[in-house]
Amino acid sequence: MRSAGAQPSPAQPRGFIQSAIGGLPAPFWYLWLGTLVNRLGGFVLPFLMVYLTEVQMLSVEVAGAVISSYGLGSILSSPLGGFLCDRVGRKATLLASLCLGAGAMVCLGLARNPEEIVLATVGLGLVTDMFRPAANAMLSDVVPPEHRLRAFGLLYWAINLGAAVAPVIAGTLARRGYFLLFLADAATTLVCAGLIALRIPETRPRTDGAGEPAKVSGLLVPFRDGVFRAFFLLTLVVAVVFFQFIASLPADLRAHGVSEQQYGLVIGLNGVLIILIQPFATAWMGRIRRSSALAAAALLVGLGFGLNGLVSTAPWYATAVAVWTFGEILLAPVNASVVADLAPAHMRGRYQGAFALAWSFAHLLAPLLGALVLGRLGGSWLWGGCAVAGALAAVGHLAIGPARRRRMAELGSRD
């Protein structure tokens, strides 16, 4: 019989929940709640193409260019946000991102001609994505290294939970008028800002490790770090494979006779699995080395997309989605925690901002490369190449693991 003072076993429900969410400080949970509220209110982006083509009456080509302009702002936003949160503070950068983002959202809703819409969209991308490096840096400040992996996993879960629910709410609001989407999105963004302003203190370290004021400036300073550069390049390879779901995967499904409705169900499986599995998987991930987790993630992402070359029906495509989703579940929190542990305390924001560029660049490169290979060589070459790229990235993560562990040991982190 267990004594009264014994701790619950991880195998028991109470112990399992404790291992998944226990031991994290209050500022983290306010950041988590604010992120969830912000994502639950992400009403506009899922419906932006419909709004631009059916309300603003833009052509599909022009609407696509407008949406791409958001990505242009995003590429600039991540390193800028990282730089600002190191120089002026995490909290100040978060509040600036949220408040300016709310304003840009309303401006986009009020814009009427294509030039105004593009300008508002670029501005929205520029200010909105300053949030992520600042939030990741704040999390790294308040959560000890041994708990960061769980914390990043829970934050990623909140993002996906909000992203899954937001389109459902947005569909209801859109029937009452599209401008209501812009107002509601801005309102939830301001609620998040209020929560951060009232409940989370500034967390930026005021000195570097030597006790002197941090003097390192420049948005892309992290790329002078050879260990970070290698990690960045491997992440870029995996991200290019991962983003094949944007254009190449739907094109391949349609070529095999999979309907739009079936495609929606196949891709929807990704979000369902993340919501159901992420918190528990992250608790388990803490038991293995991060280099091994990253290698497994790269293999699963590559294998999942590689399977598309062997299948032709919706159920089998869904199986492939499940495989790369398990890779994504491993990849996202481990990536963020490794970047946090590689960065000196006074440069956490810049490292997170620079790292986000891998995903921004991949978002641009993946559709171009995927369409080129799919159009000229066919699906077998594209999906086979994805499998090979994933395998090579896995080997690379294992190869640079010792150097990464040495860096983490120097900075007092762990792998």
State how far the Cα of 343 lies from the Cα of 345, in Å rounded to an integer. Answer: 6
Q: Which residue has the higher pLDDT, 332 or 74?
A: 332
Could you give the C-alpha distances from 8 to 1, 104, 173, in angstroms and in order?
12, 49, 45
Joined together, the tokens standing for residue 291 give 């280099």
State how far the Cα of 299 lies from the Cα of 45, in Å rounded to an integer. Answer: 31
- Convert the pLDDT of each residue in 91-132 to its tens digit: 999 999 999 999 999 999 999 998 999 999 999 999 998 999
Whose structure tokens read 């094109």? Answer: 251
Can you give the pLDDT at residue 265?
Answer: 81
Cα 89-93-95 angle, rounded to 5 deg? 120
> Dihedral sign, CA of 300, 133, 70, 76?
negative
Contact 97, 130 (CB under 8 A): yes
Q: With cut-offs at 50, 70 and 90, classify the pLDDT of residue 14.
A: low
Q: Which residue has the higher pLDDT, 237 or 219?
A: 237
Return the amino acid letter for 228. Answer: F
pLDDT cut 90: percent of the chain above it: 53
DSSP 144-157: -HHHHHHHHHHHHH
81-90, 126-135, 356-365, 388-397: which has the minimum mean pLDDT? 356-365
Domains of the chain: 25-202 (1.20.1250.20), 220-415 (1.20.1250.20)
pLDDT cut 70: percent of the chain above it: 91
Can you give the pLDDT at residue 209?
Answer: 43
Can you give the pLDDT at residue 33?
Answer: 97
Could you give the C-alpha distances from 156 to 136, 153, 212, 278, 337, in angstroms and in order?
11, 5, 34, 8, 12
Joined together, the tokens standing for residue 78 give 């991540």
- pTM value? 0.85
pLDDT(63) > 90? no
Average pLDDT over every residue of 262-277: 86
Return the amino acid letter for 140. Answer: S
Average pLDDT, the chain: 87
State how far the Cα of 415 lies from the Cα of 24, in Å rounded to an integer. Answer: 19
Whose structure tokens read 């004021």? Answer: 213
Q: Which residue has the higher pLDDT, 41 or 21?
A: 41
32-36, 215-219, 258-262, 290-294: which has the minimum mean pLDDT? 215-219
pLDDT(316) > 50? yes
- Convert the pLDDT of each residue in 145-187 to its tens digit: 889 999 999 999 999 898 888 888 888 888 888 899 999 999 9
